[in-house]
Structure 1
Amino acid sequence: MDREGEGILLAVDEAGVLRRTVTDGDLRRAVLASLGEQATLAQLPAREPLTVHASADAAQARQLMEQHRISHVPVVDDAGRPVDLIHSRELAARIWLSSPHLGEEETAFVEEAFRTNWIAPLGPHVDAFEQEVAAATGMGHAAALSSGTAAIHLGLLLLGVQPGDTVFCSALTFVGSCNPILYCGAKPVFIDSEPGSWNMSPAALERAFEWAKRENRMPRCVVLVNLYGQSADMDALLPICRRHGVKVLEDAAESLGASWRGRPSGSFGDAAILSFNGNKIITTSGGGMLLSNDAALVARARKLSTQAREPAPHYEHREVGFNYRMSNVLAGIGRGQLKVLPDRVQRRREIFEAYRDALADLPDIGWMPEPQGSHSTRWLTCLVLRGEAAARRRDEVLRRLERHAIEARPVWKPMQLQPLYADAPFFPHAQGHDVSAALFDAGLCLPSGSNMTPAQLERVIVHLREALRASRAIA
């Protein structure tokens, strides 16, 4: 018990079936009962082991621990053989996929907002945050908004998307990238990923344009997503769009701080958007940004995002607007966060390298590639399992991590597989080769927050290795 440091021993019979547990409390009681050092486990008072089945989750284990005031619960399979051990200390210290990482810089800006009573939407922090984000991305102008989804909605409207229009969009993304297409009354067409970056496939985009030309459905706009902190191949994708005279809305919600051939993510589209949701590399709790080099476009975005109010002493409205503006308080948080963006990127890249180094001896793992010319933030560390039963193995790994209060998730479920978009056209990377569906089947996103401690990272790695080892029995 001292050597393993678990605080518990599992006693099994010849068939490996768990017969009892032994804790340091049992040993103390044995000493008080005057049992000598040569006593056997059979001389201890008989006690049926408290266990949970392998299908149980962390909540069931926690309930059993609280009910019986114990700090360990063995996990057993159908035959009663122990396959895992859950500690109460782990359940009390959940590790999140990507939690907010706040520091001291934000406090000063927020305190200033309270001190000056600039609490309501708009204010000096909003103006400054817009200028600072525009400078950081190399774009001329920015409008601070309530969410990345709001920014996509306004971006589509301002790039001319109207009811009945066609809009191309990356298939492997969060639904917030494409729901605004429906807000506009337009019709989405989804473009698959390519294996080299997991971002939009140039080959699929070419075939989508050929189809659109034949069907007289040329898109008004292409929503080009930069996935999991990594820029798409702008050198290949932008010329295709330009050749067809179609505008590009760059969805850089997940990629602030990344670059493509030295140029910042969020600086390539006719307009671009960022997200400052709570799980992003920097956060304002909730918020987004619309970027463009077109000053008139951004000025109109600001107007539409404040209910399209006309410049009059009273409330005058001539068109439909939206309540999409960011508050001065949240912008203050964003200003503080932006100051530490390089540190956040560096830490997330370090976390990715730690995972890759720790699992380098496992042959059945593929990591999200970083193509030459791309500098990813590694916003999330993503891998894909290979080989037989990879999808079922991935699900088993997720279950095992969750039992230890470690949040991990599958790769995004692509839009062509979503019931909401079942009727939308989809163009795979190649005939019979749906890259995004395959990534979803066996892909896994690991805890990647820049505020993870070395001990937390080691805890994830230990349980991940064990989960991957155990999952091989499925194949």
Structure 2
Amino acid sequence: MRYLLSAPHMSGKEQEYIKEVFKSNFIAPLGEFVDKFEDSIKQYTKSKNALALNSGTAALHLALRVSGVKEGDIVLASSFTFIASVAPIRYLKAKPVFIDCDETYGIDPSLLKKAINESEKKPKALILTHLYGNSAKMKEIINLCKENDIVLIEDAAEALGSFYDKKSLGTFGTFGVYSFNGNKIITTSGGGMLVSDDEKALQKARFYSTQAREKCLHYEHLDYGYNYRLSNVLGAIGVAQMEILEERVKKKRQIYEWYKEFLDGYLNFFDELANSRSNRWLSTATIDFSEKDLFKFEKKEYASAVDVKINPKIQKIIKDLKDNDIESRPMWKAMHLQKVFEGELAYLNSNSQGFFENGICLPSSTVMQKDDVKLVSEIIIKSIG
């Protein structure tokens, strides 16, 4: 058996709903199941509005554009993230300012405050990533955004099913974004969702997502838009997947606890933030890096492609797992360490570099059973020696 990092896991209802789509011949664009998918997201997250799109990246792009971000504007962003979280800043020719993380993997509020206070002009927006399904310190971050009139955009691509203070991640900011890529906690094979309580803003995003076509008999355009909407076929898959979301969250959390049970004393696991629930999309851990290693320093510098090296112990674990047909990988390499963002301003505390050098993402597919996790753990223990 091959163990994947986070494999798709169908509910069994997907083909039934897809069959309905084909029977109606309403394959695309849009359709009944896209509406149902949006409704299911609204019901689950308690967001007032939802817009189904072809990717989470498209949702972030629309959120920035509707927020009024233009060329030269400053957009604050998580550095410890996947590039899709921040690439849309470049689409609009705005300037990213990267903020390092704390023990939640989310933005460090003290560095965020420093970045805002030292900014050459008022930042327009903040893209906050909830990494691996974990909640950032929302109370402090929300207050800073409100005090400084900064649009908060939550990248909750990995965090559907995660909560802070009993409220869905992705629903605290003006906009929230979810992803349904093949490896996410639920999947439509590819797709995303933009949510907001601001109906006017969401309608503007909807307008841009369908080529900015005016309400005329013919195709009239006063502005440009994009072909960003989700198909009815994928909407049908999404409806079926939403029906078992809570089951998937429960299983992901169980897998995480099994790893902690088997690997205690070998790897370091970071607890979820108090008053939150992580969906534990991926089980992550570190070696030679624990809470005592956090916050070594705070500094402001410019992003550069630093030659950071992954801990040889992590490299060996990944190789040994691969030799046994088990997928794993390092944690994300922070954006301020990427060549593509060289020269951009960054506020750092060394945490994201520490997580990258010493962290590992463990196989977390929801088909795994306790014996599977035990097998993976035994290989890791043997690899560590």
So what's the TM-score if we normalise by structure 2? 0.93
Question: What's the CA shift for 1:107?
Answer: 2.1
Q: Which of 393, 396, 399 is the matching residue for 2:313?
A: 393
Q: Which of 376, 380, 383 is the matching residue for 1:464?
A: 380
Deviations 1:426-448 (A, max 9, x none): 101xxxx3111111010000000
Q: Which of 124, 131, 135 is the matching residue for 1:220?
A: 124
Alignment RMSD, CA only? 1.4
Question: What's the CA shift for 1:383?
Answer: 0.3
Question: What's the CA shift for 1:455?
Answer: 4.2
Question: What's the CA shift for 1:422?
Answer: 1.5
Question: What's the CA shift for 1:457?
Answer: 2.5
Question: What's the CA shift for 1:108?
Answer: 2.0
1:372-387 aligned at under 5 Å gives the runs 372-386=274-288
Asked if residue 323 in structure 1 is aligned to residue 227 in structure 2, the reply is yes
State the match for 2:329 in structure 1.
409
Asked if residue 307 in structure 1 is aligned to residue 211 in structure 2, the reply is yes
State the match for 1:144 in structure 2.
52
**Does the 8 A contact of 1:307 with 1:322 survive in 2?**
yes
Deviations 1:356-395 (A, max 9, x none): 0011243xx2113212111101000000111699811111
State the match for 1:160 in structure 2.
68
1:164-183 aligned at under 5 Å gives the runs 164-183=72-91
Asked if residue 287 in structure 1 is aligned to residue 191 in structure 2, the reply is yes
So what's the TM-score if we normalise by structure 1? 0.75
**Does the 8 A contact of 2:258 with 2:370 survive in 1?**
no
- Uncovered stretches (5+) of structure 1, i.e. residues with no partner: 1-92, 470-475
CA separation of 1:108 and 1:409: change in aligned 2, threshold 3 A: same
**Does the 8 A contact of 1:192 with 1:200 survive in 2?**
yes
State the match for 2:302 in structure 1.
none
State the match for 2:306 in structure 1.
none
Indicate the SS of the match to 2:311: helix
State the match for 2:200 in structure 1.
296
1:53-452 aligned at under 5 Å gives the runs 93-195=1-103, 197-212=104-119, 215=120, 217-362=121-266, 365-386=267-288, 391-428=311-348, 433-452=349-368
How far apart in 1 are the matches of 2:58 and 2:165?
29
Q: Which runs of 4+ in 1 moved over 6 A?
A: 387-390
**Does the 8 A contact of 1:198 with 1:368 survive in 2?**
no
How far apart in 1 are the matches of 2:230 and 2:69?
24
Count of matched residue positions in the alignment of Structure 1 and Structure 2: 367
Deviations 1:279-332 (A, max 9, x none): 000000000001101111111111111111111222222211101000001011
Which residue identity lines up with residue 443 of structure 1 in the other structure? G
How far apart in 1 are the matches of 2:79 and 2:310?
21
How far apart in 2 are the matches of 1:466 and 1:186?
48
Q: Name which of structure 1's ranges 412-421 and 399-408 shifts more when overlaid on structure 2.
A: 399-408
How far apart in 2 are the matches of 1:252 and 1:390?
27
**Does the 8 A contact of 2:161 with 2:168 survive in 1?**
yes
- Uncovered stretches (5+) of structure 2, i.e. residues with no partner: 294-308
Higher Cα Rg, which structure: 1
Indicate the SS of the match to 1:272: strand
Question: What's the CA shift for 1:231?
Answer: 1.5
Deviations 1:218-256 (A, max 9, x none): 210000111101121111111011111111001100000
How far apart in 1 are the matches of 2:226 and 2:166?
35
